[in-house]
């Protein structure tokens, strides 16, 4: 009996009709393993994972393989996006044992959930030095049956080793100038000056490192930091990793030149990059940055927004190529012949030149990924817009990639922050409204009566899994951004509820943070990782939200917790800056104050007050917090005792317990937030 049919995870539901007798992660699954004296197969993946789909088709949909599994194992299927704690614990074991990791993750466990054999994708037949999945299953069954003592010894040793691992926390002292300069030097050494980005292939968008570079430039004036951020953003925006027709970024580039992406589009990538490009525009006025920020925001709303007002997790890399076969990138790539079919010969030649479509192709089988290898200035803008519109219409007739519709709290928090700021910067109230709708959904559905947060929902039904640290921190970050943009104190209040849970349940006496709450399900190890991966770590995201909340409210416990959490950035920043970029960005805000800006007016609709508010939001001071409201209001703490000046709107800027004289002049306010 397959038990996945009533789950909310799209990934688990994809396996609900497998002949494999799947269990979701649950105590009952391990009770069954003990009762039947069988090992557990733990298979972890996610909905938009290409090789997860491949292994499912080759092995989990294969009746003989399923029969063997059902007879000899208790099979447990986990969506890593719903249970990042389970994924993190066993991925650590996989990486320690094999030196690498990835998805699908395949781990064999004892009935006590102790791991003893590891892998990722296994093919249906031996290939490239890999054993077949059936060979692996037979080997594990033989070891379980004939060498149980050896299996128990291995499992026990692995579990002890994992439980004894310690984070290099580095103490409770926040980083200073020396560490941040060292981090900049480290990024400079890894920078690819010809292509932008850091390191070699595959190349991932370095969203959090870019935010650090922009903040470092704003605080210190470092032109090198700005150049790395600006050039990397331009290379990505011109490459195939960016959807040149509809906006939005793919997960990563398989090559160093950003040409060929892994085509899945993730909510967290696009939320982070939308914000980065908006901040780059704020710093430089770049028209390219403005366009990409707005197009990416529009992509989020158009293609990932759910009926309930939240944002779906991802779009798949694969889609039907028109023959019934699911192929990676089929929705996005073009041949010269396809351009001609849609545009006619003359415009097809123009499009091929503009988008870099060649006879040989830049992808597979003569197909090309659209990119912008040349300056747009050499082309007729009106003609290009016509070409793009017709290609987009034609592409919309192709079978679309699947969408993972689950709403993940953390990633929606990132989207809320990005849409709120982008909407405010570019006078797009519809984007701000989309951010508010997503925030309303999280409050209405994901928060319980004790302000505890559920990690996921789908189709208006909340999931059973508790929020982890990144959920609390990223949602708080989104609510804080909304408070700054809208002037509505309720969002600051909700952020405070979430951050109080962080202080109560995720921080230990040393100031270190854990990924799961103290009352969460106990795994073989309590996961704890301060390094950023595809999105900010819960640790560094919490440090940032705590610091901003303290600046908005004067809450000393929250600032102290942020300072102590930044100790890990002092330790790791100069050594591995690419992997703690958000922590470095938070440290920039800490060194700058962060600055506190209160804008008051006779009414929220007063045009002069709105001009000061917009100027405050566009200030580049790292991590500056903004409060906007009616003079005399108690809606936000920063508004207290901030009167009008000569009966008119005024802005107050404070930093490190010192305040400038209030100003009524947007230009003076701009200067105060850039020096």
Kindly state the average pLDDT of the residues 87-113: 89
- The string of pLDDT tens digits covering residues 398-414 is 999 999 999 999 999 99
Question: pLDDT for 106-139, tens place per residue?
Answer: 999 999 999 999 889 999 898 887 899 999 999 9
Closest CA to 1 of 25, 26, 24, 31: 24
Are residues 356 and 371 in contact, defined by beta-carbon separation less than 8 angstroms? yes
Query: Is pLDDT of 471 > 90?
Result: yes
The mean of the pLDDT values for the chain is 94
Instruction: Give per-residue pLDDT as tens, 592-609.
Output: 999 999 999 999 899 999
Task: Cis check for the bond before 624: say yes or no (omega within 30 of 0).
Answer: no
- How would residue 168 be classed by pLDDT, with cut points 50, 70 and 90? low
- Rounded Cα distance between 300 and 536, Å, is 19
Stretch 75-98: mean pLDDT: 91
Q: Is the pLDDT of residue 99 over 80?
A: no
Answer whether residue 209 shows pLDDT above 80: yes
Q: Is the pLDDT of residue 658 over 70?
A: yes
Average pLDDT value for residue range 257-279: 97
At 626, phi and psi to the nearest 5? -130, 135
SS (H, E, C) 502-564: HHHHCECCCCCECCCCCCCCCCCCCCCCCCCCCCCCHHHHHHHHHHHHHHHHCCHHHHHHHHH
pLDDT at 216: 98
* CA separation for the pair 646, 253 (Å, rounded): 56
pTM of the model: 0.95
**What pLDDT is attached to residue 657?**
78
Has residue 462 got a pLDDT over 70? yes
Under DSSP, the state recorded for 198 is: B
Give the pLDDT mean for 572-599: 97
Which of the 8 DSSP states describes residue 674? T
Taking a C-beta distance cutoff of 8 angstroms, is the pair 501, 514 a contact? no
- Give the pLDDT score at 348: 96
What distance in Å separates the CA atoms of residue 407 and residue 388, rounded to the nearest whole number? 31
Instruction: Kindly state the percentage of the chain with pLDDT values over 90.
Output: 85
Q: In whole angstroms, what is the distance from residue 609 CA to residue 607 CA?
A: 5
Select from 403, 483, 408 the least CA-distant residue to 445: 408
Sign of the alpha-carbon dihedral angle for 421, 239, 363, 198: negative
Torsion sign (Cα): 366, 250, 204, 86:
negative
Check whether 382 has a pLDDT greater than 70: yes
The rounded distance, in Å, linking the Cα atoms of 12 and 406 is: 11
pLDDT band at residue 162 using 50, 70 and 90 as cut-offs? confident
Q: Out of 188-197, 548-557, 575-584, 652-661, which region has the weakest mean confidence (pLDDT)?
A: 652-661
Query: Is the pLDDT score of 205 beyond 80?
Result: yes
Q: Mean pLDDT throughout 633-655?
A: 94
pLDDT tens digits along 425-441 = 999 999 999 999 999 99
- pLDDT tens, residue by residue, 298-329: 999 999 999 999 999 999 998 887 888 888 89
Query: Above 80 in pLDDT, residue 171?
Result: no
Residue 386 burial class via C-beta count within 10 angstroms: exposed 0-12, middle 13-18, buried 19 and up: middle
Average of pLDDT values for 249-255?
A: 96
User: 624 pLDDT exceeds 90?
Assistant: yes
């Amino acid at each position: 009996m397959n038990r996945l049919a009533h789950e909310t995870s799209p990934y688990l539901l994809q396996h609900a009709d497998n002949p494999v007798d799947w269990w979701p992660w649950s105590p009952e699954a391990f009770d069954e393993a003990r009762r039947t004296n069988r090992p557990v197969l733990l298979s972890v993946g996610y909905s938009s994972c290409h090789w997860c789909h491949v292994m499912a088709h080759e092995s989990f949909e294969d009746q003989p393989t399923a029969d063997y599994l059902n007879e000899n194992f208790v099979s447990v299927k986990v969506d890593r996006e719903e249970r990042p704690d389970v994924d993190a614990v066993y991925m650590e074991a996989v990486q320690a044992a094999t030196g690498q990791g990835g998805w699908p993750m395949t781990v064999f466990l004892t009935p006590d959930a102790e791991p003893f054999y590891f892998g990722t994708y296994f093919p249906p037949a031996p290939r490239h030095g890999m054993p077949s999945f059936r060979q692996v299953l037979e080997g594990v069954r033989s070891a379980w049956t004939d060498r149980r003592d050896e299996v128990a010894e291995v499992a026990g040793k692995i579990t002890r080793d994992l439980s004894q691992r310690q984070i290099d926390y580095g103490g409770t002292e926040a980083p200073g100038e020396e560490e941040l300069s060292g981090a900049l030097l480290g990024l400079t050494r890894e920078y690819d000056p010809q292509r932008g980005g850091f390191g070699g292939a595959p190349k991932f968008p370095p969203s959090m490192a870019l935010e650090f570079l922009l903040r470092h430039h704003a605080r210190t004036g470092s032109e090198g930091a700005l150049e790395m951020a600006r050039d990397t953003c331009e290379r990505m925006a011109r490459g195939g990793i960016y959807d040149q027709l509809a906006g939005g970024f793919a997960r990563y580039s398989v090559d160093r030149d950003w040409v060929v992406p892994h085509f899945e589009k993730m909510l967290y990538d696009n939320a982070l990059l939308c914000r980065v490009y908006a901040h780059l525009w704020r710093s430089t006025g770049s028209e390219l940055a403005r366009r990409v920020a707005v197009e990416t925001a529009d992509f989020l709303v158009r293609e990932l927004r759910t009926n309930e007002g939240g944002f779906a997790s991802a779009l798949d890399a694969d889609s039907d190529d028109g023959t019934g076969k699911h192929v990676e990138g089929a929705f996005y790539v073009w041949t010269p012949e396809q351009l001609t079919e849609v545009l006619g010969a003359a415009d097809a030649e123009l499009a091929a030149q503009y988008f870099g479509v060649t006879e040989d192709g830049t992808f597979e089988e003569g197909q090309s990924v659209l990119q912008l290898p040349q300056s747009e200035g050499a082309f007729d803008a009106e003609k290009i817009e016509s070409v793009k519109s017709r290609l987009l219409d034609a592409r919309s007739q192709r079978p679309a990639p699947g969408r993972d519709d689950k709403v993940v709290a953390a990633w929606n928090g990132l989207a809320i922050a990005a849409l709120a700021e982008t909407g405010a910067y570019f006078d797009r109230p519809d984007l701000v409204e989309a951010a508010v709708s997503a925030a309303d959904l999280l409050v209405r559905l994901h928060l319980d009566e004790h302000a505890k947060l559920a990690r996921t929902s789908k189709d208006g039904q909340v999931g059973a899994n508790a929020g982890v640290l990144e959920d609390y921190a990223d949602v708080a970050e989104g609510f804080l951004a909304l408070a700054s943009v809208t002037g509505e104190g309720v969002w600051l209040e909700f952020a405070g509820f979430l951050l109080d849970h962080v202080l109560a349940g995720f921080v230990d006496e040393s100031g270190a943070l854990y990924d799961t709450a103290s009352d969460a399900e106990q795994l073989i190890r309590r996961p704890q990782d301060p390094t950023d991966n595809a999105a900010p770590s819960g640790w560094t995201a919490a440090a940032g939200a705590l610091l901003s909340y303290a600046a908005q409210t004067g809450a000393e416990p929250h600032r102290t917790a942020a300072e102590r959490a930044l100790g890990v950035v002092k330790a790791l920043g100069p050594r591995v800056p690419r992997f703690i970029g958000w922590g470095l960005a938070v440290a920039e805000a800490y060194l700058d104050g962060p600055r506190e800006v209160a804008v008051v007016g006779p009414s929220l609709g007063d045009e002069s007050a709105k001009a000061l508010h917009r100027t405050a939001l566009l200030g580049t001071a790292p991590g500056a917090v903004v409060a906007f409201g009616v003079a005399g209001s108690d809606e936000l703490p920063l508004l207290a005792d901030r009167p009008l000046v000569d009966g008119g709107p005024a802005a107050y800027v404070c930093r490190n317990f010192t305040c400038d004289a209030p100003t009524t002049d947007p230009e003076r306010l701009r200067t105060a937030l850039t020096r």
